Structure 1
Amino acid sequence: MSLHIPEKREDDALSREHAHVLQQLLVAIEAVRIRRQEQYREQRHLQLKRFTQQELNDEACPTYKNWLIGRSRRLPERAMLMQIADYLECSLSERNELLLAAQYVPEQPEWESADLQRALEYAQQIMVTLPYPAAVVTHTFQVHAANELFLHLFGLPPLATIPPQQRTTPHFLLHPDICRRSTMSAEARALWQQHALFCFQLFMRQNALSQYEPWYQQYIREWCELPGFRNYWEKARIASRQEVAPVKHMLARTAITGELVPIRLRYMQIAISGRTSPAVAALLPDDEATRAVFASFLL
């Protein structure tokens, strides 16, 4: 008759543990919420957020008020916790504070310092073996290295001569000369626009957990100065997600005659580890004419 007592004690212990975890999670959420409320006390939020408990409950987590008054002790799933973090505009470190408070594995930060340098060097070793235009890029869309074929294709000088703040994918993609050579027909223009949307959606996906970081906001402010960026960025936010990059048409100069000829390129990103950054971005030929142009530079 006493066989069920240990089980009940285990249930009670588990319930107390859940209550303890939920309490420390609420403390962590409230700390971020109050911090964000103070941040916007003297300025108007673009979306008119007030970061109140009621607003958090209405906009992100319908059970939040029930947690606060003790009506519910059910721990949130990771997806719900990330939704709360999105509402609170959490930085990566703040997201990890919430995840750890709820006893979830934190999000992995990007490579830094010596680890990043080693990864960049390894990516560059891969890049130089490719017979295609290729560059080493990070999740910030900073271009750290590019092979000769890449520089020739886009009419760029040696990478070291370009100011660091201009060595980014948007600067190259939206360069007036590159735009002109990529939009020589109605079909090419449509594909180029799709390619631009794909690139900016890729940036959003790769940095979804860092969109409120200062570096992210700084990059967007700088890129908004580029012609056409703001328009494509806003379209990319609401457009259907593109899983595969569209074929890119452009005019390229042959190595033998210097003549401008139409080519077709397909974008491919090569990851060098379990992380998305750094990576080798390569442009593969999509037809025989493009292969011939590439081959002329390898003679």
Structure 2
Amino acid sequence: MLEEQFARELRRWRSRRRISQLDLAIRADTTQRHLSFLEQGRSQPGRAMVVRLAESLDLSLRERNELLLAAGYAPIYTESSLDAPELGPVREALERILDGHLPYPAVVVRPYGELVTANPAFDVLSEGAAPALLEPPVNVLRLALHPDGMARRVQNLAEWGRHITGSLRDQARQSPDPALEEFIAELAGYLPDIDPPAAHLGFAVPLRLRVREGELHLITTLTSFATAVDVTLSELRLEAFLPADETTATILRQRG
């Protein structure tokens, strides 16, 4: 029955978020009694209630659609193709941002690191990588940590790589996915041990990347479309690399 399916999913997400029934009821502007009935499959929620609960549980747009389906309702958030005309302004905006970030590298990725597009400075990250890692669809996280990719040039692979896998583990705790767990295990297998863990002094842990001109120190920023109501758009991330010192900036300007 739909009530039981929705009840099971609601209990699972509330447990995953570690929220009490009372707290979730307050967030969703309902009563604890009604929420208890929903979790027992004794009541059928209206569509507006499902949306409020999904928002209160901080679910992604894709997960909100799945919760609506579990309750017997059609998804309300569209999932457009990146080539769709309605996303034309988005594509143009991303291209302007990527070009404006030159001579520093920047990429746009889908979940779990699948490359959508990049600016020409991406070659500082991909140079010397095995051709198989650069065949579409390129995964920039695999490229970063694979021994035939960037890893052979990353001077602080153990430390920097664990920031990547740590971030993915945070995602997995937030939104469990067996495919993501498998991917994390793959990436973790590429990383050497940290012995002993080095204390880092500074404002951020940089990527220390060897290039023919010397060693780059790069830090990253992540940008997302915070107000997106399209699944595809909500899942895009723009990762921009910035120089952490003047030497790095000079090398990248000269290469550019």
- State the TM bucket, normalised to the shorter chain: 0.5 to 0.7
In structure 2, what is the equivalent of residue 3 of structure 1?
none
Cα distance between partner residues in 1 of 2:53 and 2:128: 46
1:291 aligns with 2:244: no
Distance 1:84 1:30 in 2: 19
1:134 to 82, 88, 106: 106
Q: 1:204 to 1:265 in 2, by over 3 A?
A: farther
Identity %: 17
CA shift at 1:138, angstroms?
2.4
1:144 maps to which of 116, 139, 161: 116
Q: Is the 8 A contact 1:28 1:98 kept in 2?
A: yes
RMSD across aligned C-alpha pairs, in angstroms? 4.8
- Alignment partner of 1:30 is 2:1: no
Mapped partners of 2:39, 2:80: distance in 1: 39
- Change in 2 beyond 3 A, CA 1:28/1:156: farther
Render the CA deviation track for 1:178-236: whole Å, top value 9, x for unaligned. 22332x35xx632442244235535775xx3xx56xxxx5x53773673526999xxxx
Distance between the aligned counterparts of 1:230 and 1:116, measured in 2?
37
Deviations 1:147-167 (A, max 9, x none): 2222223326799993224x1
Structure 1 residue 95, shift from structure 2 partner: 0.9
| 2:27 matched residue in structure 1 | none
Pair 285,223 (structure 1): closer, same or farther in 2 beyond 3 Å? same
Q: Given residue 249 of structure 1, which amino acid in structure 2 is its aligned partner?
A: L
* Aligned: 1:271 with 2:229: no
User: Structure 2 length as normaliser, TM-score?
Assistant: 0.58
* Structure 1: stretches of 5+ with no match in the other structure: 1-26, 34-50, 233-244
Number of corresponding residues:
211
Shift of 1:278: 2.6
Residues 94 and 274 of structure 1, relative CA distance in 2, 3 Å threshold: closer
Contiguous gaps of at least 5 residues in structure 2: 22-34, 193-202, 229-233
Map of 2:91 onto structure 1: 120
Q: Distance in 1 between matches of 2:248 and 2:153?
A: 15
Letter of the structure 2 residue corresponding to residue 193 of structure 1: R
Q: What is the deviation of 1:66?
A: 9.0
Could you tell me which residue of structure 1 aligns to residue 167 of structure 2? 198
What do the CA deviations read for 1:257-284 (whole angstroms, capped 9, x no partner)? x24x232211112335733443321101
Q: Note the C-alpha offset of 1:134.
A: 0.7
1:1-299 map, 5 Å: 28-32=2-6, 63-64=36-37, 92-97=64-69, 108-112=77-81, 114=84, 115-116=86-87, 119-131=90-102, 132-155=104-127, 162-165=134-137, 167-176=138-147, 177-182=149-154, 184=155, 189-198=158-167, 201=170, 208=175, 211=176, 217=178, 219-220=179-180, 223=183, 226-228=186-188, 246-253=204-211, 258-259=212-213, 261-271=214-224, 274-275=227-228, 276-298=234-256
Q: How has the CA–CA distance of structure 1 residues 200 and 283 changed in structure 2, closer, same or farther, with 3 Å as cutoff?
A: farther
Output one character per residue of 1:45-91: Cα deviation in whole Å (capped at 9) or x when no partner. Answer: xxxxxx69xx98x9686834896669xxxx989786679999xxx95
